[in-house]
A and B are shown apart, each in its own frame.
Chain A
Amino acid sequence: MTQSSESSGPDYKAFPDQNGHFGRFGGRFVSETLMAALDELDVMYRRLKDDPQFQADFDYDLAHYVGRPSPLYLAERWTKQLGGARIWLKREDLNHTGAHKVNNTIGQALLAKHMGKKRVIAETGAGQHGVASATVAARLGLECHVFMGEEDIRRQRLNVYRMKLLGANVVPVTSGSRTLKDAMNEAMRDWVTNVDDTFYIIGTVAGPHPYPMLVRDFQSVIGREAREQSLKQAGKLPDALVACVGGGSNAIGLFHPFLEDRDVAMYGVEAAGDGIDTGRHAAPLSAGRPGVLHGNRTYLMEDDNGQIIETHSVSAGLDYPGVGPEHSWLKDIGRVNYVSADDNEALAAFRELTCVEGIMPALESAHALAYARKLAPQMDADQDIIINLSGRGDKDILTVAEIDGIHF
């Protein structure tokens, strides 16, 4: 455990503060044009989150459109093979559209509707958030533009086509490293230009306040369900939680409802790419330092001049140089352990879960599996680990095939 049981931890529910700060992290660092829109969103969200009708609408959509609650599945065969703690998978891969991302886009689309916005924009890396945004836009009849780096468009062709089928306009981003961070820059530029009629659906717990807070709140359904399910199915709280961290929305969604359960250890797994030592990775919490990007202060991958550096990961969804500010804070106060898994470990875990359990995980989620694979054997057979299986791997088949030298 990272904290002694007698010291009382912070009141996690009190964060962020009124201005969006998690300790020294978070905040609202954007150009002036967006400040009014962020204030408007903040006021609207604070009003709606305690509105029973809004909550009822959100819960209804999660149940009937997304298919929640997602199961908590005991991976018996994999548990036996690893020889340690029992492994439970929180099956976000079974959600409509195939990942946890839709929990958040449902919530933000409801906000957009309440605010009377007719046009939504989103950034996407792996394409899962883009697909989830295009999906809710189709359902609500909203115009949808998804910004996606050219490099990611190449890696995730299937999701690009899915978004187009859903009626979204996929805008290729050719600036910078042509990945998720550049897509977010471009989405911000669009938002500044079309701020009157446009709602920006941010896909992760980063960005200016109130986004890290509201995305966390929408994703916390994962942890609330997992907590209840664990008590019912395992008869106790889990001993450890494991989730991958890019921006960190699936991880915060699982972790947040457990933060006050002091005996539940938490592991956020970053993408080590070719290895932390090589510098070719996407692990700001493991090897970065605090800075300001995309509207918040958080750990970043940057050079000595404060320029953001290119990241590397086999998984497009983790290929991001920043991380949600709440994670930066949870790292500094020691509540969550941030670790990493490299490309090879993630690919091995991808193949292993597929063969042993018949579940093909997203390459993002495979990073969490890769770390859990090392953690489980060090724990006892009467202990429990919950891994957030944040998405399914269908979208990654072409990437894995290419690595295997197979071209369709």
Chain B
Amino acid sequence: MSRIEACFATLKEQQRKALIPYITAGDPSKTVTVPVMHAMVEAGADVIELGVPFSDPMADGPVIQKACERALAAGTGLRDVLAMVTEFRRDNDTTPVVLMGYLNPVEIMGYERFADACVDAGVDGVLMVDLPPEECDDVAPLFKSRGVDLIFLIAPTTTDARISRIAAAASGYLYYVSLKGVTGSASLNVEEVARRVETIRNLAQLPIGVGFGIKDAQSARAVSQVSDGVVVGSALVNQSAENVDTPDRIAPAVAAILADMRAAMDKQ
């Protein structure tokens, strides 16, 4: 059983929902990331989405764009991100790590080399924002055969036929994008999310995480009640932006937000 599968199975048994934080690797420096990952796990994170910085993050709002710029200025490339996961795995062999980013850095490394590197580093899943299932027939087997989950987005605009197609290509979990827009956009409509998650459930077997627009403990709790997990990104990345000159404060600040969310999600 993969780490992601095991993670969701355990959560289901405990009747808890997954808390899935996102941070951009190497923001604002390469040394910050691994300690922040450990702090997130201690604060209650179940799965970590680690952003691979890209020069042209088209699906992201200003918060994550700037995080990418800071990470790139610090010299963070895909190889560095893989090295961070290797380092994280020295002290943590259970928390799933998903690399999230855009296709081009992978394209340059080569898909097979990247898939091998994921296995070596202990990466459990890969979410490439600009790789729809239509374009991944050639590359999907490289990941599947190595036990690396391919995670896909489902949007408010996704038709039922596409949901089925995405679910067939995906493994690990599905990531429902709760609103039309870029990351860090305005607040979400929980009732609408609940309806969409229900639709997806009827068409797919995988656990469903919901992200985009989750900012605080209240929204995390509300969304967790209608899904299998919540993804939180910009609210955490903001802590890096605010502590560029005081990087020691990033881990505690991120952990505090997650601990609040965890408590709100677990409250009966």
Could you list which residues of chain A lie within 8 angstroms of chain B, going by C-beta atoms?
19, 27-37, 175-176, 181-182, 185, 188-189, 192-196, 289-295, 297, 300, 302, 304-309
Assess whether B141 is interfacial by the CB under 8 Å rule: no
- Chain A residues positioned under 8 Å from B57 (CB to CB): 185
CB of A32 to closest CB in B, whole Å: 4
Given A32-B158, A307-B54, 8 more A-B residue pairs with CB atoms under 8 Å apart are: A30-B132, A35-B132, A192-B180, A196-B180, A305-B78, A306-B78, A308-B56, A309-B55
Q: Are B58's CB and A294's CB within 8 A?
A: yes
3 nearest A-B pairs in the assembled complex, by CB-CB distance: A306-B105, A306-B108, A305-B77
Contact indicator B108/A302 (Cβ below 8 Å): yes
How many Å from the CB of A110 to the closest CB on chain B? 24
Q: Is B106 an interface residue (CB 8 A)?
A: yes
Q: What is the CA–CA distance of A244 and B152 in the complex, to the nearest angstrom?
A: 39
Q: Are B56 and A28 in contact (CB under 8 A)?
A: no
* Cβ contacts under 8 Å, B5 to chain A: none
Residues of A within 8 A of B55 (CB): 176, 307-309
CB of B13 within 8 Å of the partner chain: no
Q: Which B121-157 residues have a C-beta within 8 angstroms of A?
A: 129-132, 134-135, 152-157
Find residues 57-101 in chain B having any chain A CB closer than 8 Å to their own CB.
Answer: 57-62, 65, 69, 72, 77-79
* B157:A37 contact, CB within 8 angstroms: yes
Bound together, the chains give a CA A19 to CA B136 distance in angstroms of: 12
For A27, A32, A35, A294, the residue with the greatest tally of chain B CB atoms inside 10 Å of its CB is A32
A192 adjacent to B109 (CB under 8 Å)? no
B252 within 8 A of A: no
Interchain CB contact under 8 A, B158 and A307: no
Total A-B residue pairs with C-beta atoms closer than 8 Å? 124
B103 x A29 contact (CB < 8 A)? yes
Interface centre among B79, B132, B156 (most CB of A within 10 A): B132
Alpha-carbon separation in the docked complex, A300 to B105 (Å): 12
With the chains together, A305 CA to B78 CA distance in Å? 7
CB distance from B61 to the nearest CB of A (A): 7
Are B157 and A35 neighbours in the complex by a CB distance under 8 Å? yes
User: Cβ of B162 and Cβ of A35 under 8 Å apart?
Assistant: yes
A300-B104 contact, Cβ under 8 Å, with A30-B130, A32-B152, A35-B162: yes
User: Knowing A28-B132, A193-B180, A306-B109 touch, does A176 contact B61 (C-beta < 8 A)?
Assistant: no
Chain B residues within an 8 Å CB radius of A289: 108
Contacts of A306 in B (CB 8 A): 54, 78, 104-109
Q: Which residues of B contact A300 (CB under 8 A)?
A: 104
